[in-house]
Structure 1
């Protein structure tokens, strides 16, 4: 009898321990890729604060984020099921041996745990989330924006915000503005606590927000108020970036305008700066790029046959393929293939009329029949491809700052170009930043080939 009672007691303890182990505790983050019928590929940044009582909160931008519960979860046979109070579709994840949560449906994504910290190394962090529509390099609805946070690792911080702002109207039916704004900088001191950061600004204002950290061997990000801020070692401290070295003389290439230039002048100047006849020699292009660091894209273009294809992978696994040949297009996602809508085909097609390819002599007739509108010291060049509007933003030094387009008179999509580099006589942007004013995507070109030989296998469905 005593032995039986001992076994029952052990069983009770084991079961109690197992029940206790079937819970999560901490904040998990990740990025989920999904597809919409009209807006193409989208990326949703996910944040969940799991509590050991079986509840979770995905709203870490609330004052009561520690106690708030937006849903509940259960763990059974290594599967974590999330049920939302607001009626959103439930989610299921597999609890991996390393503690990560791996998706069980849709396009594969992983949630990993971020840390509470009391110290953090010096760095500049940039707010990023992401969405994209159409094919490779296509812009987004709204405006490009950048939120920077500098932390010196010693208790001081500074912030900066700059933006290229979006929509204006005129007699021609609306244009995309090119105004560049530098809002006032703010700075102060910070103190890290129990999953929180307390910011004390120079004017005495105090703000307490949720704060977690993922080191470089993870995602290399901070989670501030539920938003993703990724480390960007290429950016300077925003509080000192605008300062000039003592005694240094700043030079500018500002051109004094004696009237608005014609489309022909702008096209000639742009072509001279970005490749001229070298652009005209382009027949095919193969570009490989990283998207927000955790996805890879390969895009191929055949100008002679009006063919475009974009492939997106995550950790080497093929996720999405979109392809257009003249006016026939299809999309493959997770083994399922469908025909593209006309709007989706138009979005892919408009890739040819933007950026460096848009300066090709093959498309010059569109540019030459454009309208030119001054925008501060810059110029807006507007033309139409069928019923769809295409816009170039050109600086007064004849630099190509960005593009925009709109489908069916919808809200304009906009992208900004950075870090131009030269290959085979063609100067192109190695970084394209796109945003809808809230979300941001950064595409960084890692390899580009002009005039590669493309064969039938390059255009096959998966």
Structure 2
């Protein structure tokens, strides 16, 4: 099932977070800024923002530089609750607000204080970033370049790391890409924000490292980039997720490296989709009227209701048991509730939420298959990738050799979004994924579903505004 959880979830991680009172700026503050592209269909931009503030009034925002401990990017002053930053070069100035909890309101995102500790909480830290252009409504082929960096600390002085990068191309009749990977291990030391990695092959690397261990998800700032610690269950899900996820991750959109052929015909594709319909639930899937689920992502709780006959979708986001945001689609329009205020759902967001009826699992209902125009089908060593169009939007279904849906993509939003599914289980006759890796624009998120309900009886009050 295509996720309807969007990039704003990550932004919500930096809202409503309580910290100890602090009246001074002394240490590293960091957060994530999400910005829209100036090109239609260009996607969203992710900028990891980090500052080292010193008591002498200087600051450094280049924590990836070797001399970050002494480098001075500019100077700041604090007047009341206003923080004024002036850079050494040019006339660039910034104005932030110091919150009562000691964090910084940077306008649209928050900078959280990161202590310089003498220890690192053991665990698996991951940083993912995707840069994309084209796609969406731009009329151009989408080109995305992604990278994944991870560090695993055992708490006993040992570490392992891995780096991976990939390029993907998605367009009209186009699908391709390549990837690279590297890894290493050794021992580590941490001292006043400086992380030393001594590799077994003799290499030594120095990095800036700051971490906030008090709140989950645990967040670390490494060389100015923000990493999040995955919990043990998520690590297990990533490493032992089964054949479904492994096959999809190696073949989706990588035609040149997986032995892709195009011998199948358009009529073959319809047959493949109908077989997938039977495998995913057949009559139980076709008779689906309401689907509800609960899930977790990056420390947030998510619940959703999908009313197919009523063309309604409701998405609720919770943090620490408190409702912090509701999005609801009602036909072609909808609304957003946040902080007690209700505003209209933007048209592009309405389109994104409405795509849940036509893509992924719900796109394999017979009525949806009948309405698709097949553009092409590609056979891979792991299964088949089928590209189809409906109402001018493109939908991609990837089926493994058992005709299970293991990945899906569409271009209904600002940029193409993709989902990779694993941990498949049958609930009331419908085969559902309990883990999803969802990518949209520059954001990549691991979603762990806790519970699905097939055709639950929902009272009308379910759809009321908070």
TM category, shorter:
0.7 to 0.9
Larger Rg: 1 or 2?
Answer: 1
The match for 1:248 is none
Deviations 1:375-407 (A, max 9, x none): 554422111221111112223343323221114
Deviations 1:253-312 (A, max 9, x none): xxx99953722332234234332222223211222222311x333322110122222233
* The 10-residue stretch of structure 1 (44-53 or 330-339) with the greater mean CA deviation from structure 2: 330-339
Deviation at 1:126? 2.0
Q: Secondary structure at the match of 1:278?
A: helix
Query: Which of the numbers 40, 50, 54 marks the counterpart of 1:51?
Result: 54
The match for 2:220 is 222
Structure 1 position 271 matched with structure 2 position 277: yes
Distance 2:325 2:167 in 1: 31
Distance 1:88 1:394 in 2: 52
Q: Secondary structure at the match of 1:213?
A: strand
Do the aligned residues in 1 keep the contact of 2:173 with 2:375 (CA within 8 Å)? no
The match for 1:445 is 449
Structure 2's unaligned 5+ residue stretches are 1-21, 137-141, 241-259
| Alpha-carbon RMSD | 4.2
Structure 1 position 151 matched with structure 2 position 153: yes
The match for 1:344 is 349
The match for 1:183 is 181
Rate the CA distance shift 1:223–1:318 in 2: closer, same or farther, 3 A. same
Structure 1 position 113 matched with structure 2 position 114: yes
Distance 1:88 1:431 in 2: 44
Structure 1 position 24 matched with structure 2 position 19: no
* The 10-residue stretch of structure 1 (40-49 or 276-285) with the greater mean CA deviation from structure 2: 40-49
Structure 1's unaligned 5+ residue stretches are 1-20, 135-139, 242-255
Deviations 1:436-459 (A, max 9, x none): 585422222233322223344333
Deviation at 1:73? 4.3
Query: Which of the numbers 204, 208, 232 marks the counterpart of 1:206?
Result: 204
Do the aligned residues in 2 keep the contact of 1:309 with 1:322 (CA within 8 Å)? yes
Q: Secondary structure at the match of 1:66?
A: coil
Rate the CA distance shift 1:62–1:335 in 2: closer, same or farther, 3 A. farther
Rate the CA distance shift 1:187–1:167 in 2: closer, same or farther, 3 A. same
Rate the CA distance shift 1:303–1:437 in 2: closer, same or farther, 3 A. closer
The match for 1:167 is 169
Deviation at 1:115? 3.1
Rate the CA distance shift 1:71–1:321 in 2: closer, same or farther, 3 A. farther
In the TM superposition, 1:15-414 aligns within 5 A as: 23-30=24-31, 46-70=49-73, 72-75=75-78, 79=81, 81-83=83-85, 85=87, 87=92, 90-96=95-101, 100-101=102-103, 103=105, 111-117=112-118, 119-120=119-120, 122-128=122-128, 142=144, 146-162=148-164, 165-168=167-170, 173-177=172-176, 181=179, 183-215=181-213, 219-232=217-230, 233-234=232-233, 235=235, 260=264, 262-293=268-299, 295-334=300-339, 337-367=342-372, 369=374, 371-375=376-380, 377-407=382-412, 411-414=415-418
Deviation at 1:236? 6.3
Distance 2:340 2:175 in 1: 38
The match for 1:4 is none
Deviation at 1:159? 2.0
Deviations 1:184-220 (A, max 9, x none): 3233443323311123445544321101233366543
Deviation at 1:363? 1.5
Q: Secondary structure at the match of 1:67?
A: coil
Deviations 1:407-437 (A, max 9, x none): 48x7522222233333222222222223358
